Copies of this chain bind each other. A is one copy, B any other.
Amino acid sequence: MKLNIAVELVYSFNEATQILACIETSRSTDQEILAEELRVAPSSKLFRDKDFAGDRRFRSEVNGQVTISYTATVENKLRQLLPVQGRQMPWTELPEHTLPFLLPSRFCPSDIFQRFAQREFANAGDGVAKVMAVLRWISENVDYVHGVSTPETTAERTFVDRAGVCRDFTHLGITLCRALSIPARAVSAYALGLEPPDFHAIFEVYLDGAWWLVDPTRLAPIEGIVRIGSGRDATDIAFLTTAKPCQMIRQTVQISAA
C-alpha cells in the first residue's frame, strides 16, 4: 500500500531553544520510503542522528515562530501481522536490547500490575495468545474517549478511568505485557483513518525473536500504519521535545492512500 504523509508543526519560541524532533518515518524492509522532504523555516542547522533502535530524529536550535514540515511517500510492503503462533521467550533467552522494555517506566508502571496480570491472563495461553488476550481485555474494558486523559496520564490511571486515547491504550497494553514478562515498547506512527488525523501511538511486543506491531485501539488497518520511532513510552517517542516551554500555533497531520 502506498501512502502520502504531510505534517506541519508551527510553534513559537520566546528565546533560542534546543529541540529534538522525531517525525521522519522509519526505514525497514516492510516500509520503503519512496520520497520525502524535511524543511524547517526559517532555515536552521539540523543535527541528524538515530535513536537506539536506528530510527531517525533531528536536533536543532530554533527561535521565534518556526515551521517544521515533513512530507513523505511510503510504500508499505508485506506488513508482518502478529503470527498465529509465536512463543514468549524467557528473560534468559532475550537479546540484550530488549531488556529495557521488560522494566516499568514512567507511564507504564508494570510492577504494580503483576498481581492483576497473573489473575487475568495466567491461563490465556502462551506468547501470541497472551498478547491477544491483553488486546481483547483492553478492547472490552476501555472506551476510546477524548478529554478523559492528559499527556501526564499513566497506565495506572487509565486502568481506573477505563477510558482514554491511543496513547493511553498503548501505555496500558505495554504495561500489561511487561507485567507478563513480555518485552513491549511504544511506537509512534502515522495512521490512515484516524479522526481527527493526528500522530498515532501503538506498540510492539517481542515474541519468538522479533518485534511485532499491534494497535490496541483497533482504529487503523495494519497496512495503513507508517512507523516513526520507538521507545519505553510516550516520553521517548514524542514528536517534539523542547528544552524550554514553547507555544503550539498550529499542527496538522495528513495521511492518505497514494
Contact = CB atoms under 8 A, between A and B. Distances in A.
A67 interface: no
A146 interface: no
Nearest to A117: B162
A109 B112 contact: no
Contacts of A45: 92
B49 A236 contact: no
Interface stretch (A4-12, A32-40, A153-161): A153-161
Contact of A92 (B60, B99, B104, B245): B60
Nearest to A50: B96
A64 interface: no
Interface residues of A, number: 46
This protein's copies in its complex: 4
Contacts of A241: 103
A218 interface: no
Contacts of A115: 143, 161-163
Interface in A188-221: none
Interface of A: 18-20, 45, 47, 49-52, 59-61, 90-92, 96, 99-100, 103-106, 109, 112-116, 119, 141, 143, 150, 156-157, 159-163, 181, 235-236, 241, 243-245
22 contacts: A18-B90, A52-B52, A52-B100, A59-B91, A60-B92, A61-B91, A91-B243, A103-B235, A103-B236, A104-B235, A105-B105, A105-B235, A106-B109, A112-B161, A114-B244, A114-B245, A115-B161, A115-B162, A115-B163, A150-B150, A156-B156, A156-B160
